[in-house]
Structures are given as structure tokens and as C-alpha cells.
């Protein structure tokens, strides 16, 4: 469904406005999961894509971003994985400095920058699930330091001041946003604190990238297949957990299963990144066949403080094989081997990773749990 009721005239750009007022003034994109989710993404723009892209381009024309993002130089690195490198100099130099954090479970601090401080106009619309029992909404706002075209933030009820700890409700909204798009290159992800989340206020990322990534087709080893849980080890930049859901299944049960694991990681102060995309079945498939939903979860070494890697930081997109590179020199010189060395420095030691796989698999409920959506 198209966004409804365009926002009315507000204060001049740059003038402060309370978030509640901004949220109430936002256009509403209402959708019905049973009718509006796109299970066969053929590359045609959906109503959701049109609303997001039109609003994003209009904000770009109004100068609401930190830099004007043009077409990015992109190349596949030679090698068996086919990693996708992009040159994005301004994101490396002009993005907001990440907040200092010391724990994956750090409490929300209203004195720090958070999404109640975003400027009028940064909100594109409020995503509202018509079938939901509650009236909660997810704001879709531009990321003012974009990775790629259409890079937005999904902000679940920002006025609640929730810390950057993933919830099942927030993940379901992200997965449904992914499935509202008709573009197979639209992806959604989450960085925990300690895994290069730059703001301690609950948010997910979503963006378009018209390049296939290795994690979308690589075959996986069964771990708890009856619960949809597998391990990706071969043909990917970093080993991780894979949840797979075939086309047509509602995302709610999948989100709850994933968040059983992320809740456990957060309680144990284990940093983690998540990447959701359309993908092949766990056993792999023919090139380009991506009939279901893949959710990748990487427990990893925590990186606290404002550390900067030489060529790129390792967060959700880098672990999936999309490498936004900060300098032209690094972009042209980067090899697959050098990229993998950077990525693998952030991984858990193999003995800890092996123990954690079984520890997390044991958390999952019997298959009958979550058979029906909310």
C-alpha cells in the first residue's frame, strides 16, 4: 500500500521539534502482511520501494545528508568468494563518531546522541502493520551517512528510549520491511554494541545493493534443521549461524527464534552482527535462485571504543561480503586475502565458536513453537 497522508507543513528545516510531534506528523505506510509481502522479488519496484526511494531522493535534493552520495565505484575482488568492494570515502571521513561503549548491554543514555534528536525531514514515513494487535509503529528515517542508495534506519518506537538490544518485534518489522520490497538487493541488518553499532538506541539498517553476495547462496551444515538453524562455514567471509525460512512462512516465528539466540548473546556480553536477505535453501541452489529468507548471525569479538580499521570496519555488511572501503588507495589495492585477514581478526577463537554453536542450538524450542504467527 502506498504511504498515506503526507506530512503537513512543519517548522523550518533545522528547527528543533519534539520526536513525538515528528512521529505524529510522518506519513504512514500501512501494510497487511498476508497481502503485501513480496515473496518472489523479480526486481520490479513495489509500493514500499517507490515510497522509500522517492522520499530518499527528495531528502538528498534538500541536502539533509552529511554528503551527497553518487554512484559508487564497485568491483568484485578476484578470488573464489567474489567479495564486493565499494569506494565510499565520505562515509569513512564524515560520519558521526561512534559513541563510547563498554558493554553489549549498556543502558540507554538520553544525554548521548539518540534518534529523538533527528532533524525534521529525516523521517520518510512510519511503517505500520495493520494486522498488529498494538498501534506501535516503526519510523523509517534516512541514514545521513549512507552506505549505499536508499540506506535507511528502522526505528522501533524511538520515544521509548530502548537500548541497542535486538527484540523479536523489531526484527519482525525488519524482516517484513525486507519482504515489502520487490528488489532482491534490498537487505536488512543489525549491529550490537561492541560490533560497530555507533548509536546506543534501538535501530536496524536497510539498504539496496544490486550485487549478489556470497552468504546468499553458500551451502550450510545442519545444526538444528528442524528449527531452521544451520552453520555457514564454506564459501563465505566468516563462519556464522544461518536461519532459513522458505517462501510464504510469516516472519514472526523466525524473528522469535533468532532473538532467543541474540538475547543469550547479549546477556553473556557477546557482540554480534545480523544480516537478513533473500537467499537459497540451506543446501544451496542454482546461481541466482533465492526463494526463501536467510538470516545470518555472527557472534564475534567485541570492539569497544572508536576503533578504525585500515581499509574498512567489520560490521554486518562486511561479514556478508560487502566491503565499503574508505580510501581510493585501499580500494584499488585490496585483495580477497587481505580482506579476509581483517575480517577474521574480529572472529571468536575456534574453540569458543565451536562451544557456542551447541550452546545456542540448545536454546531453540521444539519445532511446534512458533508454528503460528502473532
Confidence band of 103 (pLDDT split at 50, 70, 90): very high
Confidence band of 374 (pLDDT split at 50, 70, 90): low
Is residue 16 scored above 50 in pLDDT?
Answer: no
In a domain, 246, yes or no: yes
In a domain, 7, yes or no: no
Residue 235 confidence (pLDDT):
95
CATH code at position 270: 3.30.428.70
Residue 8 confidence (pLDDT):
32
Residue 259 confidence (pLDDT):
98
Q: What distances in angstroms separate CA 203 from CA 61, 125, 188, one per listed residue? A: 25, 15, 11
Query: Which of 273, 14, 274, 253 shows the shortest CA–CA distance to 121?
Result: 14
pLDDT (tens digit, 9 = 90+) per residue, 228-245?
A: 999 999 999 999 999 999
pLDDT (tens digit, 9 = 90+) per residue, 189-228?
A: 999 999 999 999 999 999 999 999 999 999 999 999 999 9
Structural domain count of the chain: 1
In a domain, 17, yes or no: no
Q: Which domain holds residue 283?
A: 26-34+43-361
Residue 100 confidence (pLDDT):
76
Confidence band of 2 (pLDDT split at 50, 70, 90): very low
Residues of 252-271 as b/e, b for ≥16 C-beta within 10 angstroms? bbbbbbbbbbbebbbeeebb
- Sign of dihedral through CA atoms 49, 55, 60, 66? negative
In a domain, 129, yes or no: yes
In a domain, 178, yes or no: yes
Q: Considering the entire predicted model, what is its pTM?
A: 0.91
Residue 305 confidence (pLDDT):
65
State how far the Cα of 22 lies from the Cα of 42, in Å rounded to an integer.
34
In a domain, 4, yes or no: no
In a domain, 9, yes or no: no
In a domain, 2, yes or no: no
Catalytically active residues, by annotation: 203
Amino acid at each position: 500500500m502506498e504511504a498515506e497522508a503526507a506530512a503537513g507543513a512543519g517548522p523550518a528545516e533545522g528547527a528543533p521539534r519534539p520526536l513525538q510531534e515528528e512521529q505524529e506528523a510522518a506519513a504512514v505506510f500501512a501494510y497487511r502482511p498476508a497481502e503485501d509481502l513480496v515473496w518472489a522479488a523479480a526486481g520490479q519496484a513495489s509500493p514500499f520501494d517507490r515510497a522509500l526511494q522517492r522520499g530518499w531522493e527528495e531528502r538528498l535534493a534538500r541536502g539533509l545528508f552529511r554528503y551527497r552520495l553518487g554512484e559508487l565505484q564497485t568491483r568484485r575482488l578476484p578470488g573464489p568468494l567474489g567479495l564486493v568492494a565499494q569506494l565510499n570515502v565520505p562515509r569513512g571521513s564524515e560520519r558521526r563518531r561512534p559513541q563510547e561503549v563498554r558493554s553489549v548491554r549498556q543502558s540507554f543514555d538520553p544525554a548521548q546522541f539518540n534518534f529523538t534528536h533527528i532533524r525534521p525531514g529525516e523521517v520518510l514515513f512510519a511503517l505500520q502493520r495493520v494486522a498488529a494487535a498494538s498501534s506501535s509503529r516503526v519510523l523509517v528515517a534516512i541514514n545521513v551517512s549512507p552506505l549505499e542508495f536508499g540506506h535507511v534506519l528502522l526505528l522501533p518506537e524511538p520515544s521509548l528510549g530502548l537500548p541497542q538490544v535486538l527484540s523479536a518485534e523489531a526484527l519482525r518489522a525488519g524482516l517484513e520491511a525486507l519482504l515489502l520490497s520487490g528488489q532482491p538487493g534490498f537487505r536488512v541488518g543489525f549491529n550490537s554494541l561492541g560490533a560497530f553499532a555507533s548509536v546506543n538506541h534501538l535501530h536496524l539498517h536497510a539498504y539496496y545493493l544490486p550485487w549478489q553476495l556470497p552468504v546468499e547462496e553458500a551451502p550450510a551444515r545442519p545444526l538444528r534443521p528442524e528449527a531452521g538453524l544451520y552453520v555457514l562455514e564454506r564459501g563465505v567471509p566468516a563462519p556464522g549461524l544461518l536461519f532459513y525460512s522458505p517462501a510464504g512462512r510469516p516472519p514472526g516465528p523466525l524473528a522469535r527464534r533468532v532473538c532467543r539466540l541474540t538475547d543469550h548473546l547479549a546477556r553473556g556480553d557477546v557482540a554480534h552482527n545480523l544480516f537478513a536477505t533473500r537467499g537459497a535453501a540451506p543446501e544451496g541452489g542454482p546461481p541466482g535462485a533465492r526463494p526463501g529468507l536467510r538470516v545470518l548471525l555472527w557472534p564475534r569479538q567485541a570492539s569497544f571504543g572508536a576503533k578504525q580499521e585500515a581499509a574498512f570496519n567489520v560490521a554486518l555488511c562486511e561479514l556478508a561480503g560487502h566491503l565499503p572501503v574508505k580510501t581510493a588507495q585501499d580500494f584499488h589495492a585490496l585483495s580477497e586475502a587481505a580482506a579476509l585477514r581483517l575480517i577474521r581478526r574480529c572472529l571468536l577463537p575456534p574453540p569458543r565458536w565451536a562451544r557456542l554453536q551447541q550452546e545456542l542450538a540448545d536454546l531453540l524450542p521444539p519445532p511446534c513453537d512458533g508454528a503460528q504467527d502473532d
